[in-house]
Amino acid sequence: MCVGVPAKVIQKHEYQALVDVMGSQTTVGIIFIPDVEVGNYVIVHAGQAMSIIDEQFALESVNEWRKLIDARNS
């Protein structure tokens, strides 16, 4: 099973972008979505941004991820 996480693009470079994933920043590849812009939300899997997603969907997904994390930590 493959799982992608939502992330917000903070900076864009030629083939990479700095993204925020639930408060942590990391660099991901953007070769699959070269038209991504700063401020877009993307799905990240295995170090690559796979697709641009709607902001509302991204925020709802982050909320669900937080529920899973909280449940695991209780």
DSSP-assigned beta bridge partners for residue 24: 21
* CA-wise closest residue to 50 among 30, 21, 26, 35: 30
Return the residue matching tokens 């493959």.
Answer: 2
Report which DSSP code applies to 33: -
Query: What CATH code is carried by the domain that includes residue 48?
Result: 2.30.30.140
Report which DSSP code applies to 15: S
Both tokens of 37, joined, read 């812009």
Q: pLDDT tens across 9-66, in order?
A: 999 999 999 999 999 999 999 999 999 999 999 999 999 999 999 999 999 998 988 8
Give 15: exposed, middle or buried? Use CB within 10 Å, 0-12, 13-18, 19+. Answer: exposed
Number of domains in the chain: 1
Q: Which domain holds residue 63?
A: 5-73
Q: Kindly report whether the global pTM for this prediction surpasses the value 0.85.
A: yes
